[in-house]
Structure 1
Amino acid sequence: MNILITGAKGFIGKNLIAQLENVRDGKARIEGLDPDLTILEYDLDTDPQLLDSFCERADFVFHLAGVNRPKEQSEFMAGNFGFASVLLDTLKKHGNTCPVMLASSIQAALANPYGESKKAGEDLLFSYGEETGANVLVYRFPNVFGKWCRPNYNSAVATFCHNI
């Protein structure tokens, strides 16, 4: 199985890759997941041409890439909607209707630039699913914690632990 992970160097991406590597290497098991898997890692510094190859080969996409702390507010929409559009268009180009999971945020319910960009990405994914028949999943994570969490950045728990 070829698993494409966008945002591979982010907090959730790094943790997901570590666990998938454990499955692949026989150190862990996930019910229903064959350990014969290839992890296709895509991030900001990845050659953009690789996205085409990855989208052609992917059997499942974890779309974890996104922008949450930009210098300019316009970067929210470019990163959370714009890249999702590129990703889904590339899957369509190859006729690849593999499942796509989007990591979103509870902020998608709020009227602020970040929330609106996350909601736009969700809506785009749902439209893609209706258009192509692909199974799409959206998870709005309320708070995350784990290895590689950064205090005062992405986790109230990490910040609390850091401060005590």
Structure 2
Amino acid sequence: MNILVTGAGGFVGRNLCAQLNNIKNGKARCYGDLKIDEVFEYDLDSTSEQLDVWCQKAGFVFNLAGVNRPKENDEFMKGNFGFAGTLLDTLKKHHNTCPVMLSSSAQASLTGRFGNSEYGRSKKAGED
């Protein structure tokens, strides 16, 4: 199986990729008969061409990409909602119906202290 990890340079993504590569290389054997052929690591320095190829080949996607400390508030919606749409549109373009694991935030609940958060609204939009 080929696995695409978006947000691969972040804390969770980096550690997930390390363990997926351990499985791929036979160093982690506690996952039954899981066989990983490739781990595609998408992050800020990746290209749209790479995303296109990897979306075509992926058998599973961990979407961990997101913006949480932008310079401008409008970057929240572009990075969280916008990228989720780009990812799903690219998978659809290749008729790839593989599972996509979505990472979000408690702030997407838009309740309590998160009720008026640009970050929360962008994460909720990405979920929807």
TM-score (ref. length: structure 2): 0.91
What value does the CA root-mean-square deviation take over the aligned residues?
1.2
Q: Which runs of 4+ in 1 moved over 6 A?
A: none
State the number of aligned residues.
123
Say yes or no: does 1:77 pair with 2:82. no
| Secondary structure class of the residue paired with 1:104 | coil
The more displaced of 21-30 and 7-16 is 21-30
Over 3 Å counting, the alpha-carbon distance change for 1:60 and 1:83 in structure 2 is: same
Specify which structure has the bigger relative contact order, considering alpha-carbon pairs within 8 angstroms and separated by 6 or more residues.
Answer: 2
- Could you tell me whether the CA contact under 8 Å between 1:6 and 1:65 is conserved in 2? yes
Say yes or no: does 1:113 pair with 2:118. yes
Distance (Å, rounded) in 2 between the aligned partners of 1:122 and 1:36: 27
What pairs up with 1:59-74 in 2 under 5 angstroms? 59-74=59-74
Name 1:10's counterpart in structure 2.
Answer: 10
Over 3 Å counting, the alpha-carbon distance change for 1:58 and 1:106 in structure 2 is: same
Paired AA for residue 38 in structure 1:
E
Name 1:21's counterpart in structure 2.
Answer: 21
Per-residue Cα deviation, 1:120-153 (whole angstroms, up to 9, x for no partner): 0001xxxxxxxxxxxxxxxxxxxxxxxxxxxxxx
Distance (Å, rounded) in 2 between the aligned partners of 1:43 and 1:11: 12
Over 3 Å counting, the alpha-carbon distance change for 1:14 and 1:108 in structure 2 is: same
- Could you tell me whether the CA contact under 8 Å between 1:81 and 1:117 is conserved in 2? yes
| Secondary structure class of the residue paired with 2:103 | strand
Q: What fraction of aligned residue pairs are identical, expressed as a percent?
A: 65
Distance (Å, rounded) in 2 between the aligned partners of 1:118 and 1:32: 33
Distance (Å, rounded) in 1 between the aligned partners of 2:95 and 2:42: 20
Per-residue Cα deviation, 1:21-76 (whole angstroms, up to 9, x for no partner): 11111111343552342101111111211111111100000000000000000000
| Secondary structure class of the residue paired with 2:41 | strand
- Could you tell me whether the CA contact under 8 Å between 1:26 and 1:35 is conserved in 2? no
Give ranges in structure 2 of 5+ residues lacking alignment: none
The more displaced of 95-104 and 20-29 is 20-29
Give ranges in structure 1 of 5+ residues lacking alignment: 124-164
Paired AA for residue 126 in structure 2:
G
- Could you tell me whether the CA contact under 8 Å between 1:25 and 1:35 is conserved in 2? no
TM-score (ref. length: structure 1): 0.72
